[in-house]
Structure 1
Amino acid sequence: MKSQDVRKQFLDFFQSKGHLIVPSAPIVLKDDPTLMFNNSGMAQFKEYFLGNATPKSNRIVDTQKCLRVSGKHNDLEDVGFDTYHHTMFEMLGNWSFGDYFKKEALPFAWEFLTEVLKLDKDRLYVSVFEGNEAENVPFDQEAFDIWKQFVPEDRIILGNKKDNFWEMGDQGPCGPCSEIHIDLRTDAERAAVSGRSLVNEDHPQVVEIWNNVFMEFNRKADGSLEKLPAQHVDTGMGFERLCMAVQNVTSNYDTDVFAPLINKVEEITGLKYTTNDIVLSGAEGEEQNKINIAIRVIVDHVRAVAFAIADGQLPSNTGAGYVIRRILRRAIRYGFTFLDTKEPFIYKLVAVLADQMGEFFPEIKSQQNLVTNVIREEEASFLRTLDQGLQLLENVISETSGKEVAGAKAFELYDTFGFPKDLTALILRERGFSLDEAGFDVAMQEQKARSRAASEVSTEDWSVLIPGNVETFVGYDQTEADVKISRIRKVDSKKDGVLYQIVVDNSPFYPEGGGQVGDKGTLVSANETIQIIDTKKENNLILLLAKQLPENVNASFVAKVDTDLRAASAKNHSATHLMHLALRTVLGTHVEQKGSLVTPNNLRFDFSHFAKVTDEELKQVEDFVNARIQEQLPLIERRDIPFAQAVAEGAMALFGEKYGDSVRAIKFGDSMELCGGIHVNNTAEIWSFKIVSEGAVAAGIRRIEAITSDAVKKHFANQEELLSEIKLSLKNPQDTLKAVVALQDDNAKLKKQLEGLLKDKAKNMKGDLAKEIQEINGVQFLAKQVDLNPEGAKDLAYELGTLGTNMFLVLATAEEGKPMLSCYISKELVADKNLNAGLVVRELGKFIQGGGGGQPFFATAGGKKVEGIAEALAKAKDFLD
């Protein structure tokens, strides 16, 4: 059975049991600060378990894209070394929200595995929770009795809290679980050793495939458990592992989920992957195993990275973007080290992935060009970093007195340039050195401790003041509302200090979302005023953030939004919609929004486009938006319309967003988008629109920053003031532009004259300096500070270089207090003496608190410390010892 059929069979089976099929949520989470990514099937349903929202059906079935690379659930370092862990995987799940429980869930699972998929019953083991006296949770007798109807008691295993009590985090819904494991070993292996003894022992062929979690508790901040108001079923089955079982292979990578990707890697590299059933021994086996691990890492990681980008998360240096970049760099590094790939190639796998999974996950198909270009650019960039890291590692080796490189030095390479520890260790071994791995680990732990300390957050349990309260948002129609506080909690973090999160019953405050920042304002009672410094959304709750609580939390309040800030944000948000339409009109319909930020001060818009937007195109975009403002287009807002109907009528749905069955559509003229943000009632309120910058964010992604309304007025006022200052400095010419052009012409002529004079000066200095050249070990050497600019020093170095084929010159300049070192080495010396000007200036640059690089025969280094020039020149001679 093909993997696509396995997925369909699962969904069809539970649909026949009254479950509603829902699509996978994006892999990147937006409204849950406790998680970066969807790391389990239940993440998108968290608000239902917490009782903050009502599901569209009490029975749901889906397959969820999951990413386990950070936090509590982190499988990254296992990937590639075994055959069943993955960064991204599909979690098949059936869900009951207060509907059925154990007596239905477990028979459903058994029926699907043994009657639909026809798995061998004798290979299946099940586990139930043995209980925990300390937490007053009893042995799961009900699950045990249910399983006795289907399997012999010797294949029912009692599991402890670690194995059979599932928790989504340190706090929140949790409960006992019952797992199903399968033994895929040969008959002979099964006869020799019982599969029972290998369950939960990390055996690659005795693996868990399905977990039935019975959500009946809530873990509180103090660690205690309380009963949930309703009992829920949360199940998860690893799609890749299930395919391994159904297709009768012993590795997830031997299934058709991964085979097309592996075949493509083999085609690109010319290397062969051996399946889990082929085991080679000796040196040949060791070498092949390294190739196998590298290929597994690459085909796993490209799925994770591709789907994350398709869902809106671009690689970056912070947060979730850094995690994605790290995954991709791990794949690149394995290819670089073990597959000898020195050019980008992982991007070529995206087309295979899109063909393979695009039918069920259309986002990978629609975003294929973007994903391909981003991965290709990231590969090229990191391969350059690896090349630079190799040069820096050479410096580290040259500075090492013994045969062991300090761990702190290697960690600096890792931390600053992303140069991996294991690659450093591998290169050092090849050069006859070793790495102080303990020192590296100490440096790593110190950094993690600093990071943890900086981000440490302590969250108390909610204090519920109005039980059963259903929060409503009234902010589209009101900026003030009479409210009661329904719940509060205290959050203490190193970053923000102590904050209080307040939930009110009728919130006019818009929570941060859709790119728009959250509202600020006040809560006013008869006796006091509480400042609301921000508004966030978490698991369907609107959280008002304050630095203090009211003295009487049970009082009646008036919630007041800061209308000036709200109005400014609304203008920028509406302008964002108009600019999106303008970009699609001017540049083409390939343009799609890839991110946005809307604040009261400005707007930022990221979009797909594969070339710099020209000045003329920017002017057309600006003119288009301002024309729509002048047309005074009224806002047409439609709430709670079916998603399919809105899209059919032309509304744009943004990639990476999770939409419900009912949506809100915002329309200004021909601009129609699905949006939950705050907007103006008429485009005339925007007054004016001005683009202030345009540039690249990533491969195929451009960013425009713009302003509206009062910010435009201020911008023009600043420009007028600047023009006045320019005119004043030019002595108030009648034609300012003509005066500036004349000044530029005069400057160009003077610069040309100066360059000629400096060249003449360098030639005149040549004869004097030639007399100072000394011979050291057969090399003509000179290290000297000269009274020239850097360009003149370069000319002088090349002039002196004509005097022989064995020149090693270091010239220093200090024009306007900025030290610069220039190194010239005859090409013959580069080859014969293994000298490299780039390495020389990097080393000597340390004395002037700077650095640089260049070619082996000529390189420069700039710095900040003029006083270090003398020491740098004195040390230059050491390269000839």
Structure 2
Amino acid sequence: MKSQDVRKQFLDFFQSKGHLIVPSAPIVLKDDPTLMFNNSGMAQFKEYFLGNATPKSNRIADTQKCLRVSGKHNDLEDVGFDTYHHTMFEMLGNWSFGDYFKKEALPWAWEFLTEVLKLDKDRLYVSVFEGNEAENVPFDQEAFDIWKQFVPEDRIILGNKKDNFWEMGDQGPCGPCSEIHVDLRTDEERATVSGRSLVNADHPQVVEIWNNVFMEFNRKADGSLEKLPAKHVDTGMGFERLCMAMQDVTSNYDTDVFTPLIEKVEEITGLKYTPNSVVLNDSEESEKQNKTNIAIRVIVDHVRAVAFAIADGQLPSNTGAGYVIRRILRRAIRYGFTFLDTKEPFIYQLVAVLADQMGEFFPEIKKQQALVTNVIREEEASFLRTLDQGLQLLDKVISETKGKEVNGAKAFELYDTFGFPIDLTALILREKGYELDEAGFDKAMQEQKSRSRAASEVSTDDWKILVDGNVESFVGYDQVENEVKITRIRKVDSKKDGVLYQIVLDATPFYPEGGGQVGDKGILVSANETIEIIDTKKENNLILHFAKQLPENVDASFVAKVNTDLRGLSSKNHSATHLMHEALRTILGTHVEQKGSLVNPNNLRFDFSHFAKVSDEELQEVEDFVNARIQEQLPLIERRSIPIQQALDEGAMALFGEKYGDNVRAIKFGNSMELCGGIHVNNTAEIWHFKIVSEGAVAAGIRRIEAITSEAVKKFYASQEELLSEIKATLKNPQDTIKAVVALQDENAKLKKQIEQLIKDKAKGLKAELMTQIQEVNGVQFLAVQVDLNPEGAKDLAYDLGNLGTNVFLVLATAEEGKPMLSCYISKELVADKKLNAGQVVRELGKYIQGGGGGQPFFATAGGKNAAGISEALAKAIDFVM
């Protein structure tokens, strides 16, 4: 059965059981600060389990794109080495929100696997929770009794808390679970060793395929459990593992989920992948093939994770979720570089295969194919350059190493600062006859992790519920001031921000951070006190107001007042962002799509897809377009809670990577219409004026514009006027400022030419003088001297002197404006015959001037900070020819 059919059979089956089929949420989470990525099927439904929102149906089924590469669920380092772990995977799931429970969920699971998919019942094992006396959770007798109707007791396994009690995190909904495992070994292997003994033992052919979680508890901050108001079912089945069982193979990578990608890698590299069914022996050739297999598995797995993350709006970067995506891609590049001998970008070519393979069910990968391809190609090229630089730096570290063990802290610096993989460092060192100080590396790594952990450590108390029921609402579109009651509070203590309090209100006017717009600030005022709200965010459908202190009386009535000055500035920037989006699509083309934004009171930032630099003329057109819309005084047309399909049919722009409900809010200014939950001006005239301040590249195919509006534009023009006045004053207040600047530039150019000629003349005089100072050392014409020239003049002089013969070795030092520079010239014949290298020479001598450098074997330079070290550097130069 093909993988597409497996997916369809699952969804059709649960639709027949009254489940609403919903699309996968984006792999990158936007409104849950506790998670970087969707790491499980239930992540998009957390607000329903927590009771903060009502689902559109009590029965739901889907297949969810998941990514497990950070935090508690981290499979990254297992990927490639085994045949069943992945970074990105699909989780088939069926959900009950206070509806059915064990007596429906378990028989349906059995029915689907054995009657619909026709899996061999004798190959299936099930597990149930054995209970935990310490937590007063009993043995799951109900699940055990249900399974006895379908499965012999010798294939029902009692599991402990680690294997059969599922938790969302350190706190939150949790409960016992019942897993289904499949034994895919040969009949001979099964006859020899019971599959029961291999369940949960990390055997590659005895794997868990389905987990039925019965959420009935809430884990509190103190670790205790309390009963949830309703019982829920949360199931997850590994799509790739199920395909392995259905396609009669013993590796996920041998299924049609991965084979098209593997075949493309084989075509590109000329190497062959060995399926899991082929047993390798212990020969050196087999070891090489095994490394090839691992590398190909890493690459085809990782490209899926990276491609879907980019398609969902997460670009590789140096921070947060973007750093994780970059790290995954770099791991794939490095495996190709080391084990497949790929020195040029090639992973980007797999995107087309992925789009053809999965584009029908996940249209985002097809729609964003060009962007994903370009971003991956640019990232590959960049990291391959980093690897090349890393090899040079590693050579330097080796040259400075005394003995045969390379300092672990130095290796960590290569890893941490330059992104050079540690296992590649170790591999290269072994090839050169060196060892890595692994203990030193591990120590440096642990110290960094401890610093990072300490900086990000957060402890969160349980919610203290003051008002029962799901009573919270947002009234901020219509009001900036409102009478409120506090419904719940909790304390959050972090190393970064210290102690803060999160406050939830029954009807808040505060806008929570979202859609690129920062959260509102303001105050809560009662009869006796005023509490400052420093930020507002949303988490699992709750609007959280952050404060440094709690009111003395949390049960009192308050007036919530938004800081309207800050909100007004943000709203002007937000509305201008919509107008700019329209302008870019009008002027550059409809390929332009928003890829990220930031809207705050000071400015706006807008990332968009475009494959060339936006010219000055185009930027001026964009600016003029937006300002024309401002001058037209377009009124805001806001439509709340309209069906999403109706909004799209009417021309509203929806953003990839955003999760929209069935009903949406649409914002319209003239011809600009977007789905948006943010705060906007009532009329474009309020924006006053729009000014672009910068444009540049963020990643391949992604540009960024930063702009200002309103008060910031007034300040900008005032500062420009002040700057112009200062320039005029400096130029003695000429009548024509531009003419005066041009005249100054012309004069400067003439003086530069004169200086260059003087330096050349001086160098000619020096050449004659220095020729008399050259001495012969071991058959080499040697000179090491300081000259009164700039570095460019010293280079010209070095080449002139070098042309005197075929055995010249020169080191010339300069100290222009106190900045020391060493230039080394070595005749190419000496480079070949005596294995001398100018780059190594300046790296070694550069230590004396507290600097370093490099270059070609016949000419290299090194700059430094300590001019006093020049004489010692010159004195040591003769050592290279002795």
TM-score interval w.r.t. the shorter chain? over 0.9
Cα distance between partner residues in 1 of 2:489 and 2:503: 5
- AA matched with 1:73: H
Whether the 8 Å CA contact 2:79–2:298 is kept in 1: the answer is: yes
1:466–1:776 CA distance, 2 compared to 1 (3 A): farther
Structure 2 match to 1:749: 750
Q: Which is further off, 359-368 or 841-850?
A: 841-850
Q: SS in structure 1 opposite 2:608?
A: strand
Q: Which residue of 2 aligns with 1:733?
A: 734
Matched, 1:116 2:116: yes
What SS class does the counterpart of residue 819 from structure 1 fall into?
Answer: strand
- Is the Cα contact below 8 Å between 1:770 and 1:800 reproduced in 2? yes
Whether the 8 Å CA contact 1:179–1:211 is kept in 2: the answer is yes
Deviations 1:355-395 (A, max 9, x none): 10111111111111111111111111111111111111111
Change (3 A) 1:632 1:869: farther
The aligned counterpart of 1:675 is 676
Are the equivalent residues in 2 in contact too, given 1:571–1:686 (CA < 8 A)? Answer: yes
Q: Does structure 2 conserve the Cα–Cα contact (< 8 Å) formed by 1:784 and 1:873?
A: yes
Q: 1:657 to 1:803 in 2, by over 3 A?
A: same
Which of 403-412 and 860-869 deviates more? 860-869
Paired position in structure 1 for 2:799: 798
Mind listing any 5+ residue stretches in structure 2 that lack a counterpart?
none
Matched residue type, 1:92: L
CA contact (8 A) 1:458 1:491 kept: yes
User: Deviation string for 1:107-145 (max 9, x for gaps)?
Assistant: 111011011111000000000000000000000000000
Contact 1:279-1:285 at 8 Å conserved across structures = no
1:694 aligns with 2:715: no
Moved more, 795-804 or 808-817: 808-817
Q: How does 1:506-521 map to 2 (within 5 A)?
A: 506-521=507-522
Instruction: Give 1:447 deviation, angstroms.
Output: 1.0
Whether the 8 Å contact between 1:485 and 1:553 is mirrored in structure 2 is: yes
Task: List aligned pairs for 1:153-192, cutoff 5 A.
Answer: 153-192=153-192
**Equivalences for residues 631-642 of structure 1 within 5 A:** 631-642=632-643
Secondary structure class of the residue paired with 1:401: coil
Conservation of the 8 A alpha-carbon contact between 2:516 and 2:599: yes
Question: What pairs up with 1:605-684 in 2 under 5 angstroms?
Answer: 605-684=606-685
C-alpha distance in structure 2 between counterparts of 1:396 and 1:125, whole Å: 54
1:421-440 deviations in whole A, cap 9, x for unaligned? 11111111111111122221
Alignment pair present for 1:477 and 2:462: no
Question: 1: CA distance between counterparts of 2:364 and 2:453?
Answer: 35
Deviations 1:156-178 (A, max 9, x none): 00000000001121111111000
CA pair 39-614 structure 1, distance change in 2 beyond 3 A: same
* 1:127 and 1:164 in contact (8 A); partners too: yes
1:17 corresponds in structure 2 to: 17
Deviation at 1:760, TM superposition (A): 1.3
Deviations 1:37-86 (A, max 9, x none): 11100111111111111111110001111111000000000000000000
Q: Distance in 2 between matches of 1:871 and 1:53?
A: 74
**How far did 1:413 drift?**
1.0
Tell me, in whole angstroms, the C-alpha distance in 2 between the residues paired with 1:151 and 1:483: 56
Q: Which moved more, 1:777-786 or 1:593-602?
A: 777-786
2:245 paired with 1:245: yes
Q: Which residue identity lines up with residue 113 of structure 1 in the other structure?
A: L
Cα pair distance change 1:479/1:152, threshold 3 Å:
same
How big is each residue's C-alpha offset from its partner over 1:23-48, in whole Å with a ceiling of 9 and x where there is no partner? 11111111212211111001111111
Partners of 1:226 and 1:877 in 2: how far apart? Answer: 79
CA distance in 2, matches of 1:762, 1:247: 78
Q: Distance in 2 between matches of 1:566 and 1:236?
A: 42
Q: Does 1:391 align with 2:387?
A: no
What is the match of residue 45 of structure 1?
Answer: 45
Q: Residues 257 and 499 (structure 1 numbering): CA distance in 2 closer, same or farther, change over 3 Å?
A: same
Query: Mapping of 1:193-272 within 5 angstroms?
Result: 193-272=193-272
1:671-728 deviation per Cα after TM superposition (whole angstroms, max 9, x unaligned): 1111111000000000000000111111111111100011111111111111111111
Query: Match of 2:48, as an amino acid?
Result: Y
Q: Report the alpha carbon displacement of residue 847 of structure 1 after superposing the two structures with TM.
A: 4.0
Report whether the alignment pairs 1:838 with 2:839: yes
Say whether residues 1:276 and 2:276 are aligned partners. yes
Q: Offset of 1:797 from its aligned partner? A: 1.5
Q: AA paired with 1:111?
A: E
Q: Which residue is 2:136 aligned to?
A: 136
Task: From the superposition, tell whether residues 196 and 555 of structure 1 become closer, same or farther in structure 2 (CA, over 3 Å).
Answer: same
| Cα distance change, pair 173–549 in 1 and its aligned pair in 2 (3 A) | same
Match of 1:810 in 2: 811
RMSD: 1.3
Q: CA deviation at 1:450?
A: 1.0
**In 1, are the aligned partners of 2:244 and 2:250 still within 8 Å (CA)?**
yes
**C-alpha distance in structure 2 between counterparts of 1:304 and 1:825, whole Å:** 50
Identity of aligned residues (%): 88
Query: What TM-score does the superposition give when structure 2 sets the normalisation length?
Result: 0.98
- Between the aligned partners of 2:544 and 2:804, the Cα distance in structure 1 is 75
List alignment gaps of at least 5 residues for structure 1: none
Residues 1:277 and 1:683: Cα distance change in structure 2 (over 3 Å): same
- Aligned 8 A contact 1:837 1:857 in 2: yes
Residues 518-667 of structure 1 aligned to structure 2 (within 5 Å): 518-667=519-668
Q: Which amino acid aligns with 2:103?
A: K
3-state SS, counterpart of residue 297 of structure 2: helix
Equivalent residue number for residue 494 of structure 1 = 495
Query: Alpha-carbon deviation of 1:556?
Result: 0.7
- Aligned-partner Cα distance in 1 for 2:238–2:101: 21
- Greater mean deviation of Cα atoms: 327-336 or 803-812: 803-812
Aligned to 2:42, what secondary structure does the other structure show? helix
Question: Is residue 326 of structure 1 aligned with residue 327 of structure 2?
Answer: yes
Would you say how many aligned residue pairs link Structure 1 and Structure 2? 881
Determine the C-alpha separation between the residues in 2 that align with 1:777 and 1:176.
Answer: 82
Match of residue 88 from structure 1? 88
Farther off after superposition, 341-350 or 847-856? 847-856
Query: Which residue of 2 is the match for residue 827 of structure 1?
Result: 828
Letter in 2 for 1:57: S
**Aligned-pair CA distance for 1:849:** 4.0
Amino acid at match of 1:200: N
Q: Secondary structure at the residue paired with 1:594?
A: strand
Residue of structure 2 in register with 1:67 after alignment: 67
**1:446 equivalenced with 2:447 (yes/no):** yes
Q: Aligned to 1:8, what secondary structure does the other structure show?
A: helix
Q: Is the 8 A contact 1:119 1:246 kept in 2?
A: yes
Q: Distance in 1 between matches of 2:398 and 2:678?
A: 56
Give the Cα–Cα distance (whole angstroms) in 2 for the partners of residues 9 and 467 of structure 1.
42
